[in-house]
Homo-oligomer: A and B are copies of this chain.
Amino acid sequence: MKIVSQTWNQHVVKKENKTLVLDQIREHAPISRASIAQQTGLNKGTVSSLVSELMNEKLISESGTGQSSGGRRPVMLLFNQQAGFTISIDLGVKNILGVLCDLKGNILEGKKIILEDNQVEIVLERLYGLINELIAAAPDAPYGIVGIGIGVPGVISNEGEVLLAPNLDWKNVQLKEILADKYQLPIVVENEANAGAIGEKTYGAGQKSNDLVYVSVGTGIGVGLILDGELYKGIRGFSGELGHMTIERDGLKCRCGNTGCWELYASENALLSKAKTDQFKSIHTIVKAAEKNDKEAISLLNDMGKYLGIGITNILHIFNPEQVILGNAMIEAEKFVLPAILEYIDAHTIGFNRDDVKISGAMLKEYSTVLGIASVNIELFFKENQATLELLS
């Protein structure tokens, strides 16, 4: 039978209005009840009553009074960002980055560990150690640890299974289930580029954009799509494989089965394989060389920019986004690569599609992914929490 969209009743109204009030406080704190009423269009009485519930739930608190504007001084409300904490992991090929965040996405504790071996069992052990350390570092809070999340460079099913992570050599790892069993907490497993897109949208360069494309240029190329303000995942969760978009018909053979894939020309791997000298072992060394005016390094980075430009031009034509944000390993080379990208785009993109788009490097640098994961966990907490508190009241 077809699932019918939600029926509407007072219950729903209350829940939505409560979320609305909480969101106002989260975004505009410190803010007074009167001001919330004005902004949301809700009655002052309604706001008062909802605010009082939120205070009972320890999600907000009153701070002192604010500035008078010619009458009684308002009582300012604060978001209690320490009501709970999240743990977020960026699982890379060479290392794992883990952070402990409050409910506003502030990093309280961060740790990076080096990975020598990508075998599932070994990685899991290291992961548990890192997570336990971060849990231990969390201050006491009404809601404690509200969720754990992890960003993985691979294809993730909607059920949180890592179907394939070629650079880790992982296949069919039920990561969400494994972590949920171990920690009995809400678990988020998301593709690294999708998470990066959310991170930049929530806390980084893309906060004002409703349609943004995050291009993660690392060993390969992955893309996260925020369309109409929401992460777009496709029917099974496999969208954003733009790294395997053909930009040269009858081009190089890719191990994915396709030919002329973008990432064969524009990724870090592509960059390194095109280097003539053996001294270039990573994007880092090339950037260092370029900074010392090494001609080959500069030329390599310039070429990379051109190839990235080809794909980004396609992106502008396909999505007409408000913003394109470049992240992951290439962020280090932004200074050298971005000008070449812009030059290519300006010469090749249809005017309409070029006009209002902003193209930039990731503002959160290496934290785009972890903070995106944190954001997903936080929003999940507020959604679930509303449902739970409903039952309690």
Q: Which of these, B13, B20, B348, contacts A258 with CB under 8 Å?
A: B348
Q: Does A56 contact B (CB under 8 A)?
A: no
Chain B residues, Cβ within 8 Å of A319:
232, 234, 239
Beyond A242-B317, A313-B246, is A17–B8 a contact (Cβ under 8 Å)? yes
For residue A155, CB closer than 8 A to chain B, the reply is yes
Q: How far is the CA of A247 from the CA of B349 in the complex (A)?
A: 14
Tell me if A384 counts as interface (CB < 8 A to partner B): no
A236 and B320 within 8 A (CB): yes
Q: Of B10, B163, B244, which contacts A317 at CB under 8 A?
A: B244
Give CA–CA (A10, B9) in the complex, Å: 8
A245 within 8 A of B: yes
Among B13, B230, B235, contact of A9 (Cβ-Cβ < 8 Å): B13
**Does A140 sit at the interface, judged by CB under 8 A?**
no
A257 near B: Cβ within 8 Å? yes
Within 8 A of B (CB), among A155-195: 155, 163-164
Q: A20-B5, A258-B348, A350-B256 known; A320 and B237 CB under 8 Å?
A: yes
- A335 nearest CB across to chain B (Å): 24
Check if A257 sits within 8 Å of B210, measured CB to CB. Answer: no
**Minimum C-beta distance from A3 to chain B (A):** 10
Alpha-carbon gap, A319 to B242, bound state (A): 9
Say yes or no: is A379 at the interface (Cβ < 8 Å to chain B): no
Is A314 in the interface zone, CB < 8 Å from B?
Answer: yes
Which residues on B sit within 8 Å (CB–CB) of A310?
A: 246, 249
A17 contacts B7, C-beta separation under 8 Å: yes
A164 engages B235 (CB within 8 Å) = no
Work out how many copies of this chain go into the complex. 2
Task: Tell yes or no: A343 within 8 A of B by CB.
Answer: no
A251 to B1, CA, bound (A): 50
Instruction: Note all chain B residues with C-beta closer than 8 A to A209.
Output: 235
How many of A's residues come within 8 Å of B, CB to CB? 71
Interface string of A1-32 (1 = CB under 8 A from B): 10011011110110011001000100000000
Q: Please tell me if the beta carbons of A352 and B238 are within 8 angstroms of each other in the complex.
A: yes
Nearest B residue to A15 via CB reads B8
Report the Cα distance A94→B227, complex, angstroms.
35
For the complex formed, measure the closest distance between the CB of A211 and the CB atoms of chain B, giving whole angstroms: 5
A17 to B10, CA, bound (A): 12
Q: Could you tell me if B321 and A234 are in contact, using CB atoms closer than 8 angstroms?
A: yes
Chain B residues in 8 Å Cβ range of A314:
245-246
Q: In the bound complex, what is the Cα–Cα distance between A204 and B150 (angstroms)? A: 40
A39 to B10, CA, bound (A): 19
Can you pick out 26 interface pairs between chain A and chain B where the beta carbons lie within 8 Å of each other? A1-B39, A4-B40, A7-B40, A8-B12, A10-B13, A211-B234, A227-B228, A228-B232, A233-B320, A234-B319, A234-B321, A235-B356, A236-B320, A236-B356, A238-B352, A239-B318, A239-B319, A240-B318, A241-B350, A244-B317, A247-B247, A248-B249, A249-B307, A249-B310, A258-B313, A258-B348
Identify 15 new A-B residue pairs, CB closer than 8 A, beyond the known A13-B13, A239-B319, A247-B260.
A7-B40, A7-B41, A7-B42, A164-B352, A235-B356, A238-B352, A239-B318, A240-B318, A241-B350, A242-B318, A245-B318, A246-B310, A247-B247, A258-B349, A318-B318
Could you list which residues of chain A lie within 8 angstroms of chain B, going by C-beta atoms?
Answer: 1, 4-5, 7-10, 12-13, 16-17, 20, 24, 39-42, 155, 163-164, 209-211, 223, 227-228, 230, 232-242, 244-249, 251, 256-260, 265, 307, 310, 313-314, 317-322, 347-353, 355-357
